[in-house]
Amino acid sequence: MAQDGIGARVARKEDKRFITGKGRYVDDMRVAGMKHVAFVRSPYAHAKVGGINSEQARNMPGVLAVLTGSELVADGIGNLICGWMVHSKDGTPMNMGAWPALAPEVVRFVGQAVAMVIAETRAEARDAADVVAVEWEELPAITDPAKALGEGVPQLHPEAKGNLIYDWEIGDKAAADKALSEAAHVTRMEIVNNRLVPNAMEPRAALAQYDAAEDHFTLWTTSQNPHVARLVLSAFYNVAPEHKLRVIAPDVGGGFGSKIFIYPEEVACLWAARKTGLAVKWTGDRSEAFLTDAHGRDHVTVAEMAFDANNRITAFKIDTIANFGAYMSLFSSSVPTYLYATLLSGQYDIPTIHCNVRGVYTNTAPVDAYRGAGRPEATYVVERMMETAARELGVAPPELRRTNFIREFPHQTPVIMNYDAGDYEASLSAALSASDYAGFGERKAEAARRGKLRGIGLSCYIEACGIAPSQAVGSLGAGVGLWESAEVRVNPVGTIEVLTGSHSHGQGHETTFAQLVAERLGVPIDNVSIVHGDTDKVQFGMGTYGSRSGAVGMSAISKAIDKVEAKAKKLAAHLLEAAEGDIEIADGEVRVAGTDKKLGWHEVCLAAYTAHNLPEGMEPGLKEGSFYDPANFTFPAGAYVCEVEVDPDTGHTEIIQFVAADDFGRIINPMIVEGQVHGGIAQGVGQAILEGCIYDPESGQLITASYNDYAMPRAHDLPSFKVSTTETICPSNPIGMKGCGEAGAIGTPPAVINAITDAIDNNDLSMPATPEKVWRALRAGATAMRQAAE
Amino acid sequence: MYSLTYKRADSVEEARRLFQEASDAAYLAGGHTLLPTMKQRLAAHDVLVDLTRIGSMKGISVEGDRVRIGGGMTHAEVAGSSEVQRAIPSLAALAGSIGDAQVRHRGTLGGSIANDDPAADYPAAALALAATIMTDSREIAADDFFTALYETALEESEIVTGVSFAIPETAGYAKFRNPASRYPMAGVFVARHRDGSVRVAVTGAGNEGVFRWQAAESALAGDFSANALEGLSVDPDLMMGDIHGSAEYRANLVAVMARRALANLGSAEAII
């Protein structure tokens, strides 16, 4: 192994600039003549927009322009799109309402922009935005997804009767019903997956510049996928032709999915840059982030699981209502369908699954992918059901899972996915052992002596990463292919630049990707630069989300390295007068195996560029590219054990121990992987006990619109995690890796809730399990027991 | 934030003059309530008068049976003061439990008392420790000072220059934090004074702000232990309710925190 190659705990190369404050984010960018934008946003969840009087605003100091939605529409700027077509079970296409970047007629959630002010300073823009007079005609609003379905409630879009976006299904309903009717035992639960606000550290921002002489646009934006942004902005929104638009996503301070999507603000800024001839910057504040970043989760589900007399699952039936918010965001349609229902087999051999999903509009911010995107929702349903079934059946929770584990691979589930590799017993055993699961009884008794209720909960998750084989997702309605691109440029001196279509916004690509190059070409990682995030520098790519940068992005790099390596070996064989098959590259040298004949890596590289002595027919240079389309999804899986103590007086839950045993396939940098797991667990704990996005059901106002009311997890809330990995190599990509970025957020919530419900002996508990909810569940459980006794 | 003029005062007199010269001024100490409110454009002042450099508002002294703390002292200074730790350890511990390290190094005693946030910690200590609030023009008993939510007996331009706390025989504080803001959802300060009287003050929970729980005071006067609180509760109708905790839940927390305070005499316990 190279010293800083695959498997090495290399410190992150990018951290020097991040921890010394030298990162360059969109808001750090300055261009000559740059002006500032403030948006005029709706204070209502649902309202008609009457006239907009901007006269007073235009006369404010520093104000250069006030632009409105009707002007934007008149200029032919296209509506925002959802890029994944999902059909209802009756074959009709999804019902998508129009979403103009600035609303000309109707607003459908609090915070939706109707106009923009451009001024010399940010403060002047805001002052003027405050006095833009909009004639609002308030309409009744609805925020609860279960109540929004149907005719007798406020209707959002004429295109979607009863607020229904689609009524979709997967699997065999008749077979599931039959199995349920014949089951020895049925576990049934109503499960709510709470709505979350993404809370990336850096709020969204956009800086748009138009060069009239060249008819050329530049957009700096907080994006996880600048190439897709350029494509969508050009092909659908008509703001700029693709070859005349450069999109740059520089350092980006976290995304968690929320920066995948194209938002109204960057569309409006590009449009305004051309319309006014001014370079304009908008930087969202935290309040705007709460109101307008795409939220996550928000499912209401009824699940039924059928067991035979041997405790084997015979069928699983799920009915889910998914809240989309007021508009269909870029990938929203795929999240509660193909990213959710396809994982409902969990780690288990389930012969029959049926899942029905109804997507619904409400007067809330749009909902789209958020760390895990569908898989946390699926895992929460599956693993709450498994733990509950074990309790009902009187079986130890690990044993019920073992009884139903998939043990042979590949395994075809009834819901599309074909699991290529895994060893669920291995991760479960590792987690049970690391958590001393067997010794829990003693710890519970000891806690009881201190007046605390101790509980333990298990979660055996599976997820799908490495999205995805393009043909497969195309057949399911995706509007794009989901391959990734790479270009490996070897410089004449032997240093290397890797241009990747992936985008790093916290993941550590500049280190991990360099480690792959170091491993393969024998150069130190300091001699490797990773270039990403600029459509003028990097070939088209698909970006970073769904834990795909390793399995797909690095596979593309690996394929490009194959070509570089082959050419370098061919050249070296020629120079060393040896057979190509005898050449090996390692430790900065290109050697003839078994001899002392060798060249420095830099000498071979230089020879490729001097081109004085190349093999017959070889072109000069050493630069190769690859577009890698994965053969399958990858399937990270693992077992998490959470142990809690509940204070019965207050309902406060303390997480005493958290164990994660993950199988991510081959790991490039264990330190970075552990960091990803830690962050994921923190977010999972956040969802389980702290975070809940709440809208007022009457007014549609966002109640949790700041950190005063939206509870984020803090170090203080978390124990020191015990994380470990088991390894089955992924056979579906050349590196054997699976993906680790979302696992923690996927596997954690059910483990936490299973632990709390175990502690309080009442299974009726929803997320976030706030102290009051736990306290009430404890009292309700005690009341129920008293009534049973009477 | 709207545009404004920032002025720094070197003396209490100068501060008051600067305040009175402006049309809508505000005093700035730690700024933890004021500045976020102004940033969100929920408040607009034409002038901010910074009090943090006024030397006469600094300092801690023990005089007889009282501890006098300057209004400009930060929570970190109070928490770290050996005089306070010796005289009223639970007060030092309370100061050390406010917010986080950044908050404790900017926030001040005078700012907290004058703002009278219903979820602030210090008002509970002021009531339970029979404090006297000293201003640039008079002295006000804590019992008369906190009048309603965010309202005090202070005149418009009056400045809290210091607080004098009675040194109790023993005292303790316990609070349950709001999981989001980490302000107390219920904080109870219990003190037994040298004359045998007991004071129990509750912050974070009451719908009219900080209050003395007289039933608990009477019960504890006879038996200063958690046993005396058995069966005692506050009326949920008098408690605040919000998405973090209903009035009924807060009433429960008040009873629980009172017991915890008694179990933590000489210190402060913070849950969450």
pLDDT bin (cut points 50, 70, 90) of residue A722 is very high
Distance of CA A682 to the CA centre of its chain: 15
Please judge whether A707 and B3 are an interchain contact, meaning their C-beta atoms are less than 8 angstroms apart.
Answer: no
Structure confidence by residue, pLDDT tens digits, A776-789: 999 998 777 777 77
Please judge whether B40 and A130 are an interchain contact, meaning their C-beta atoms are less than 8 angstroms apart.
Answer: no
pLDDT bin (cut points 50, 70, 90) of residue A630 is very high
Mean pLDDT of chain A, nearest integer: 97
Nearest CA in chain A to B248: A772
Distance CA A398, CA A392 (A): 14
A329, A82 contact by CB (below 8 A): yes
Structure confidence by residue, pLDDT tens digits, A176-197: 999 999 999 999 999 999 999 9
The residues pairing with A216 across neighbouring beta strands, listed in sequence order, are A211
Nearest alpha carbon to residue A575 among A545, A603, A596: A603
Sort A393 into a burial class: Cβ within 10 Å, 0-12 / 13-18 / 19+.
middle
Distance CA A83, CA A546 (A): 16
Q: Which residues of A touch B3 (CB under 8 A)?
A: 123
pLDDT bin (cut points 50, 70, 90) of residue A400 is very high
Q: Which residues of B touch A650 (CB under 8 A)?
A: 176, 252-253, 256, 271
The residues pairing with A358 across neighbouring beta strands, listed in sequence order, are A167, A321
Please judge whether A652 and B249 are an interchain contact, meaning their C-beta atoms are less than 8 angstroms apart.
Answer: no
User: From the CA of A691, how many Å to the nearest CA of chain B?
Assistant: 9
Distance CA B203, CA B180 (A): 17
Three-point CA angle A174, A177, A179, nearest 5°: 110
Please judge whether B3 and A647 are an interchain contact, meaning their C-beta atoms are less than 8 angstroms apart.
Answer: no
Contacts of A573 (CB under 8 A, 6+ apart): A579, A580, A582, A583, A615
Q: Which two tokens stand for residue B198?
A: 């007991």
DSSP conformational letter for A768: S
Nearest alpha carbon to residue A463 among A754, A750, A748, A746: A746
- The answer to whether the A299-467+632-789 and A483-628 domains have the same CATH topology is yes
**Residue at token pair 């074909």:** A418
Calculate mean pLDDT across residues A596-604.
97
Distance CA A204, CA A227 (A): 17
Q: Which residues of A touch B246 (CB under 8 A)?
A: 772
Structure confidence by residue, pLDDT tens digits, B68-107: 999 999 999 999 999 999 999 999 999 999 999 999 999 9
Distance CA A172, CA A89 (A): 12
Please judge whether A710 and B176 are an interchain contact, meaning their C-beta atoms are less than 8 angstroms apart.
Answer: no
Amino acid at A730: C
Of B2, B180, B253, the CB nearest to A711: B180
pLDDT of residue A788: 74
Is it the case that residue A336 has pLDDT exceeding 70? yes
B258, B191 contact by CB (below 8 A): no
Q: Which residues of A touch B256 (CB under 8 A)?
A: 649-650
Structure confidence by residue, pLDDT tens digits, B3-28: 899 999 999 999 999 999 999 999 99
pLDDT of residue A2: 61
Calculate mean pLDDT across residues A98-106.
98
Q: Which CATH class is domain A299-467+632-789?
A: alpha beta
Please judge whether B272 and A287 are an interchain contact, meaning their C-beta atoms are less than 8 angstroms apart.
Answer: no
Distance CA A471, CA A492 (A): 38
Q: Which two tokens stand for residue B169?
A: 């025989």
Structure confidence by residue, pLDDT tens digits, A736-785: 999 999 999 999 999 999 999 999 999 999 999 999 999 999 999 877 77
Structure confidence by residue, pLDDT tens digits, B215-237: 999 999 999 999 999 999 999 99
Contacts of B252 (CB under 8 A, 6+ apart): A649, A650, A775, B233
Structure confidence by residue, pLDDT tens digits, A40-52: 999 999 999 999 9
User: From the CA of B61, how many Å to the nearest CA of chain A?
Assistant: 34
Residue B234 CB coordination number (10 Å): 23
Distance CA A167, CA A89 (A): 6
Distance of CA B222 to the CA centre of its chain: 27
* ipTM here: 0.96
Q: Which residues of A touch B41 (CB under 8 A)?
A: 126, 130
Please count the residue pairs, one from chain A and one from chain B, whose beta carbons lie less than 8 angstroms apart: 53
Contacts of A118 (CB under 8 A, 6+ apart): A35, A36, A37, A63, A64, A65, A66, A67, A125, A272, A276, A278, A280
CATH architecture of A483-628: 2-Layer Sandwich (3.30)
Mean pLDDT of chain B, nearest integer: 97
Q: Terminal CA-to-CA distance of chain B, rounded, Å?
A: 32
Sort A477 into a burial class: Cβ within 10 Å, 0-12 / 13-18 / 19+.
middle
Please judge whether A647 and B41 are an interchain contact, meaning their C-beta atoms are less than 8 angstroms apart.
Answer: no
* CA quadruple A145, A147, A151, A154: dihedral, nearest 10: -80
Calculate mean pLDDT across residues A676-704.
98
Q: What is the share, in percent, of chain A residues with pLDDT greater than 90?
A: 98
Q: What ranges in chain B are assigned the alpha helix state H?
A: 12-21, 34-39, 75-79, 82-87, 89-96, 101-106, 109-115, 122-128, 142-145, 214-222, 247-263
Is it the case that residue B57 has pLDDT exceeding 90? yes
The residues pairing with A722 across neighbouring beta strands, listed in sequence order, are A659
Please judge whether A709 and B244 are an interchain contact, meaning their C-beta atoms are less than 8 angstroms apart.
Answer: yes
DSSP conformational letter for B171: E
Q: Which domains does chain B have, with CATH numbers?
A: 5-50 (3.30.43.10), 55-166 (3.30.465.10), 170-271 (3.30.390.50)
Please judge whether A709 and B181 are an interchain contact, meaning their C-beta atoms are less than 8 angstroms apart.
Answer: yes
Nearest CA in chain A to B44: A127
Distance CA B94, CA B84 (A): 11
pLDDT bin (cut points 50, 70, 90) of residue A654 is very high
Q: Which residues of A touch B244 (CB under 8 A)?
A: 709, 770, 772
Please judge whether A772 and B244 are an interchain contact, meaning their C-beta atoms are less than 8 angstroms apart.
Answer: yes
Q: What ranges in A663-718 are assigned the alpha helix state H?
A: 670-685
Alpha carbons within 13 A on the beta-carbon side of A492: 6
Q: At CB < 8 Å, which residues of chain A contact B?
A: 123, 126-127, 130, 287, 647, 649-650, 652, 689-690, 694, 703-704, 707-712, 716-717, 770-772, 775-776
Name the CATH superfamily housing domain A31-139+201-254+259-292: Aldehyde oxidase/xanthine dehydrogenase, a/b hammerhead (3.90.1170.50)
pLDDT of residue B127: 98
Torsion angles phi and psi, residue A778, rounded to 5:
-60, -45
Is it the case that residue A206 has pLDDT exceeding 90? yes
Q: Spell out the SS3 assignment of A152-177.
A: CCCCCCCCCHHHEEEEEEEECHHHHH
Calculate mean pLDDT across residues A5-16.
96
Nearest CA in chain B to A128: B2
Structure confidence by residue, pLDDT tens digits, A294-319: 999 999 999 999 999 999 999 999 99
Of B3, B40, B180, the CB nearest to A709: B180
Sort A152 into a burial class: Cβ within 10 Å, 0-12 / 13-18 / 19+.
exposed
Please judge whether B1 and A123 are an interchain contact, meaning their C-beta atoms are less than 8 angstroms apart.
Answer: yes
Of B40, B243, B271, the CB nearest to A694: B243
Is it the case that residue A1 has pLDDT exceeding 60? no
Calculate mean pLDDT across residues A393-414.
98
Nearest CA in chain A to B247: A772
Interface test with A, best of B244, B246, B260 (most A CBs within 10 A): B244
Nearest CA in chain A to B256: A649
Provide the 3-class DSSP secondary structure of residue B115. Answer: helix
Contacts of A475 (CB under 8 A, 6+ apart): none
Amino acid at A441: G
Q: Which residues of B touch A647 (CB under 8 A)?
A: 271
Is it the case that residue A377 has pLDDT exceeding 60? yes
> Given CA atoms B8, B13, B14, B16 in this order, what sign does their dihedral have?
positive
Please judge whether B243 and A704 are an interchain contact, meaning their C-beta atoms are less than 8 angstroms apart.
Answer: yes
Distance CA A602, CA A604 (A): 5
Nearest alpha carbon to residue A744 among A676, A672, A671: A676
Interface test with B, best of A650, A652, A654 (most B CBs within 10 A): A650
Of B2, B41, B272, the CB nearest to A652: B272
Nearest CA in chain B to A708: B181
Nearest CA in chain A to B180: A711
